[in-house]
Every structure is written in structure tokens, then in C-alpha cells.
């Protein structure tokens, strides 16, 4: 049971319109946003940040951004965000081999060295204490420019917020997210956990 129950999608008209963005990424408005809208300013600011972070301005693809979010969410232990990020990665055309072998990214041939550096950065930046060291930075800079690194850290930081929000709130997972988690993550130990 969530700490605070979400409002209905039409509780705030401005939030409802802004949240249409999630119909593309997930196919539904997340319960996290429906809970944030209890304070509409928080929901509006979050949606704006989400749109800015997920906008592609370099070579960091939409699919890679969602895999970065998945790695960050897994490191934080947030099953809600794990299911959402893997669902969005599928919807944005992530390679099936990458989806099936995301935790083998360091050695699996479905990942190139640039993707490995990005996913290592996501893992290191999501751990506590922070694990971004000189080697992670060096490898990242071999493949990505400043703008692309900012985009990646934007994704990692956005999911840091969401991981704290959803795990603390015990946000209920939506049916579509549960389906994606079961399809893509259950063989690696994923379960709904507190998000039922």
C-alpha cells in the first residue's frame, strides 16, 4: 500500500495535459506523477525536467538513456523505476540482445565500448558513496562529449530523484510496467515487491 494514494489523472487539467508526454514513453501516466500532482507545482516541475533530460541533443539515444536509467535504478534498488525504464527502453527500440543482457554489458557483444563507458558511469554515479573515479571519467571522455555527458548525468540524477520518491512512497506499479518487468527482468530476480 502506498504512503500516499495517487490522484485521478484529471485532478489537475494543466498536469493532465503535460503528462500526455508519458503516453509516448510508457503508454500511461505513471502513478508517481499522479501522486506528485497533490502539489501540482511539483508535478509540473518534474514533467518539465523529465522532458528536458530525455530530449536528445547528441548521440545519446532514447534507448540508451532508458538503459542508463535502468542501471541507475537497479543500483538504487528501485523496482518501480526498473520496470518503467525497461518498458521505455523497449518502446524506444532498444536492441533485444541488449535488453536481455543488460547486466552483461561489460562483456556482451551487443554493447560497444561507448555504451559500456556510459553504463559504467551510470552504475558508478548511482552508488553511495559515489563511485565516479578517474578511470570512469577517462573512459567516458574517450567516447562522449561534454553535452552528452551532461545528458547522461541528467538521466542518472532524474532517476535518483525518482528512486527515492517511488521507494519511499511505495508507489503502486501500473499493469503495463508489471508486464514489462515480468517479461524482461524476472529471470534476473526482479519482482514487484512493495509496489503492489
Three-state DSSP at 22 gives helix
Residues 55-100 pLDDT 10s: 999 899 999 999 999 999 999 999 999 999 999 999 999 999 999 9
User: Angle, nearest 10°, between helix axes 134-143 and 113-126?
Assistant: 140
Q: In the prediction, which pLDDT does 22 show?
A: 95
Q: In the prediction, which pLDDT does 55 show?
A: 94
Q: What is the residue extent of each domain of the chain?
A: 13-195
- Compute the distance between CA of residue 92 and CA of residue 55 in angstroms, rounded to an integer: 13
In terms of CATH architecture, what is 13-195? Answer: Up-down Bundle (1.20)
Residues 106-159 pLDDT 10s: 999 999 999 999 999 999 999 999 999 999 999 999 999 999 999 999 999 999
pLDDT band at 1 (very low <50, low <70, confident <90, very high): confident
Report which of 87, 55, 81 is spatially closest to residue 163, judged by C-alpha positions: 81
- Compute the distance between CA of residue 16 and CA of residue 3 in angstroms, rounded to an integer: 22
Q: In the prediction, which pLDDT does 102 show?
A: 94
- Compute the distance between CA of residue 150 and CA of residue 13 in angstroms, rounded to an integer: 32
Q: In the prediction, which pLDDT does 58 show?
A: 87
Residues 18-67 pLDDT 10s: 999 999 999 999 999 999 999 999 999 999 999 999 999 989 999 999 99
Name the grid cell of 95: 536492441
Q: In the prediction, which pLDDT does 114 show?
A: 98
Query: CA dihedral defined by 132, 146, 142, 105, rounded to 10 degrees?
Result: 60
Whole-prediction pTM: 0.96
Amino acid at each position: 500500500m502506498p504512503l500516499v494514494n495517487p490522484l485521478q489523472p484529471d485532478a489537475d487539467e494543466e498536469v493532465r495535459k503535460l503528462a500526455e508526454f508519458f503516453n509516448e514513453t510508457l503508454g500511461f501516466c505513471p502513478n508517481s506523477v499522479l501522486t506528485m500532482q497533490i502539489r501540482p507545482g511539483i508535478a509540473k516541475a518534474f514533467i518539465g525536467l523529465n522532458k528536458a533530460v530525455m530530449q536528445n541533443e547528441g548521440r545519446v539515444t532514447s534507448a540508451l538513456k532508458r538503459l542508463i536509467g535502468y542501471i541507475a535504478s537497479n543500483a538504487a534498488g528501485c523496482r518501480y523505476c526498473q520496470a518503467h525504464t525497461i518498458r521505455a527502453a523497449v518502446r524506444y527500440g532498444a536492441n533485444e540482445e541488449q535488453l536481455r543482457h543488460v547486466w552483461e554489458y561489460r562483456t556482451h557483444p551487443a554493447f560497444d565500448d561507448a555504451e559500456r563507458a556510459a553504463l559504467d558511469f551510470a552504475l558508478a554515479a548511482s552508488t553511495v558513496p559515489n563511485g565516479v573515479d578517474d578511470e570512469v571519467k577517462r573512459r567516458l571522455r574517450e567516447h562522449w562529449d561534454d553535452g552528452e555527458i551532461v545528458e547522461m548525468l541528467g538521466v542518472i540524477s532524474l532517476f535518483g530523484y525518482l528512486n527515492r520518491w517511488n521507494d519511499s512512497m511505495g508507489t503502486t506499479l501500473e499493469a503495463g510496467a508489471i508486464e514489462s518487468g515480468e517479461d524482461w527482468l524476472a529471470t534476473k530476480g526482479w519482482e514487484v515487491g512493495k509496489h503492489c
